[in-house]
Homo-oligomer: A and B are copies of this chain.
Amino acid sequence: MAKQDRRTLSPFQQRWHNIIFEADTPAGRAFDVALLAMILLSVAVVMLESVVSVQQRFERLFTVLEWVFTILFTLEYLFRIWCSYRPKAYITSFYGLIDLLCILPTYVEFLFGGAHFLLTIRILRLMRIFRIFKLVPFLNESRQLALALEHSRRKIAVFLFFILLLTVVLGSLMYVIESGHNSGFTSIPVSVYWAVVTLTTVGYGDIAPITPMGQAFSALIMIMGYAIIAVPTGIVTVEMSRLRDKNEVDQRICPHCMREGHDANADYCKFCGTKL
């Protein structure tokens, strides 16, 4: 993102930009803290609304609060666009999309109904918390975690693809074995659901094998799942250790013996004693 692409803001816009997008000034920090509080409060309201006994007592208050929060978040969203250096970049950024998604459900609910409880998606806005409180080490850690997952995403995709094929085949076999004897295995899709529940070692028990052959076959699936769980763990562990190794290896070369592999805290070449 080259700096020259950004539009010119008026001093008034600039001041608001600093308050809304940055957290360096007291005003900016106060704005961010108030925002976090409002996000938490608004999620709590949506959650409480779903509890029937609470909802009946505070119905009116909840409706008012929800509209207040939605209007405030909408104003904030428009304001962010207005005082952004590159409005388009903000709108299409990860945080911009989340910000939009967090106000839409109320309007969708108003127009069509049914989207109300999706407002809890607002909790995703809390991800700003690390930036707001300058939790730099935490930011670094989450970047490293994201990087490790990013690097292993292909291996994990292949893994999940095979899990999918496996559960379809195992579920169908189990349907052939159990259906007719067991009221739980009503169809192949339900049996596939059961195979996922079993292979991942979740094991609700809402559907469980009852025929001896079904139980023997299930035991096989469980032991398979027990061994298969090693695969994603291995993938992510190897990726993380690789990332760490890269972080720790210094790129410097000794000017005298030209050898590499020095530690980050080394001042002298460990092979010939020359100053690095």
Contact = CB atoms under 8 A, between A and B. Distances in A.
Taking chain A's interface residues, is the majority helix, strand, or loop, or is none over half, making it mixed?
helix
Contact of A124 (B169, B201, B241): B169
Identical subunits present? 4
Contacts of A274: 273
B226 A200 contact: yes
Interface stretch (A29-37, A58-66, A74-82, A260-268): A260-268
A8 interface: no
A68 interface: no
A232 interface: yes
Contact of A233 (B138, B155, B168, B229): B229
A73 B198 CA distance: 32
A117 interface: yes
Interface in A163-211: 163, 165, 167-169, 171-173, 175-176, 179, 186-193, 196-206, 208
26 contacts: A50-B187, A117-B188, A120-B172, A121-B172, A123-B169, A124-B165, A141-B154, A160-B227, A189-B212, A190-B215, A193-B215, A193-B219, A196-B223, A197-B203, A199-B226, A201-B201, A201-B226, A204-B205, A230-B233, A230-B237, A231-B236, A233-B236, A241-B241, A263-B270, A266-B270, A270-B270
Given A121-B169, A130-B158, A201-B202, 10 more contacts: A118-B172, A123-B168, A124-B169, A193-B218, A193-B219, A196-B219, A197-B219, A199-B226, A201-B203, A268-B270
